[in-house]
Amino acid sequence: MSSTRKPEAGKVAALPRSRLHLQFLLDNGAEPDVVLYRDAFMREPVEASYPGRAVDLGRESLPGRSLTSVLATRRANAAYYRSVAALLQPLGIERLILFLEGEPLERFLMALPEIRTVELWEDGLSHYTDLTSPLWYAARGAVQAAVGFYPRDILHRRIDRSTVVVRDRFERRNLVLNSPTMPGKQRDALLFVGSPLVEDGIIRHTRFLTAMRQVAAASPIAVRYLPHPRENLTRLRADLTGISNVEIEPNAGGLMEHAGRFGYRAYAAAISTGLLDLGRSDQSVYVPQMFGCTRMARALRQWPANPVRLAEDEDALRRFLVAIQS
């Protein structure tokens, strides 16, 4: 099913939540009539890529600590969903391109009576495999429901994919993502792509420190750490300054922009969609088990289409890096 515009098929809207999602739209020739965005940081890239088509949906509210605040937030969120429906109704949208299936806003949009067709496009690793426990999603959903987020199936991570058109790179192979441009400069170093594991409460700070020391010890080449946008840079600088083999890289433009300027001997991450996006699988390795992310390691091992190898410990990472140097 094509996602380019066909006037007779009704208007098409897309809701990219990240620059990666926006790049998927561009690389696959999507021409949505309307490009929705929820967060302020997406306004500029959406306007640059699809001038004149951006529609700001805003976002749900979160409460303070008091019961009064919770009740007020529930009312505000009910009003928010009504305002979204009123905003979209006159636009004539019949088809939706979504990237996230477990979020209340996306599920609310899917349920609008004017929507006839939904396409679910890959949003990265979580599209293919559950990296965190279903209990985590259920607990998160229960909290969201309590403060008035759209409640349909809010305790569940997945939608019924038989009701939508699914597009992805590695299983259905009906989606593409262009590799970054060839880098202008090569570095004899390991680029470690950061993940907000500490910030999201998935691992403890002490475990992160231990793992990064192990990564540095395993690497016969310098380690350049590229932070995730949601990682705390103050914490990172304090953590990594004491590890002699590790240096933090500036990350103003994101991984793909960085990879277009610099090429590396090897690429690693505890867990990151970025290793899929680079298209440099022969040089890449996941190391979730070194960070104590056993469930994530198991999920990656059990995903048949995973193009990136796993190293279970410091010795396995060292062997990979030594082999890639030869």
Q: Which two tokens stand for residue 220?
A: 């016969």
Classify each residue of 266-305 as buried b or exposed e, where b means 16 or more C-beta atoms within 10 Å of its C-beta: bbbbbbbbbbbbbebeebbbbbbbbbbbeebbebbeeeee
In order of their start, the domains of the chain are: 7-167 (3.40.50), 185-325 (3.40.50.2000)
Q: How far apart are CA 198 and CA 87, in angstroms?
A: 37
As a whole number, mean pLDDT of residues 274-282 equals 93
Q: How far apart are CA 326 and CA 225, in angstroms?
A: 23
> What single-letter amino acid sits at 284?
S
As a whole number, mean pLDDT of residues 92-110 equals 97
- What is the pLDDT at residue 177? 95
Asked if residues 8 and 29 have their Cβ atoms less than 8 Å apart, the reply is no
- pLDDT of 2 higher than 80: no
SS3 33: coil
- Structure confidence at residue 254 as a pLDDT band (50, 70, 90): confident
As a whole number, mean pLDDT of residues 26-46 equals 96
Asked if residues 141 and 101 have their Cβ atoms less than 8 Å apart, the reply is no
- Structure confidence at residue 268 as a pLDDT band (50, 70, 90): very high
- What is the pLDDT at residue 4? 42
> What single-letter amino acid sits at 212?
M
As a whole number, mean pLDDT of residues 245-268 equals 92
Q: How far apart are CA 33 and CA 3, in angstroms?
A: 11
SS3 16: coil
What is the tens place of the pLDDT at every residue in 209-225? 999 999 999 999 999 99
Asked if residues 313 and 210 have their Cβ atoms less than 8 Å apart, the reply is no
Strand 246-248 relative to strand 222-226, pairing: parallel
As a whole number, mean pLDDT of residues 295-321 equals 96
Q: Which two tokens stand for residue 299?
A: 């999920």
Asked if residues 17 and 59 have their Cβ atoms less than 8 Å apart, the reply is no
**How many degrees, rounded to 5, is the angle at CA 146 between CA 132 and CA 231?**
40
Residue 148: which region, alpha, beta or left (left: phi > 0; alpha: psi -120 to 50)? Answer: left
Q: What is the mean pLDDT of the chain?
A: 93
Instruction: Compute φ and ψ for 188, nearest 5 degrees.
Output: -85, 75
Residue 168: which region, alpha, beta or left (left: phi > 0; alpha: psi -120 to 50)? Answer: beta
As a whole number, mean pLDDT of residues 21-26 equals 96
**194, exposed or middle or buried, with CB in 10 Å at 0-12, 13-18, 19+?**
buried
- What is the pLDDT at residue 9? 59
Q: Which two tokens stand for residue 207?
A: 């475990």
What is the residue-wise DSSP string for 294-323?
Answer: HHHHHHHHT-TT--SEE--SHHHHHHHHHH
Asked if residues 219 and 317 have their Cβ atoms less than 8 Å apart, the reply is yes
What are the contacts of 32-40 at 24+ separation with CB within 8 A? 32/3, 32/5, 32/97, 33/5, 33/91, 33/93, 34/91, 34/93, 38/105
Residue holding tokens 């209340």?
Answer: 104
- Structure confidence at residue 66 as a pLDDT band (50, 70, 90): confident
Of the two residues 326 and 15, the one the predictor is more confident about is 15
- What is the pLDDT at residue 186? 93
Q: Model's pTM, two decimal places?
A: 0.87
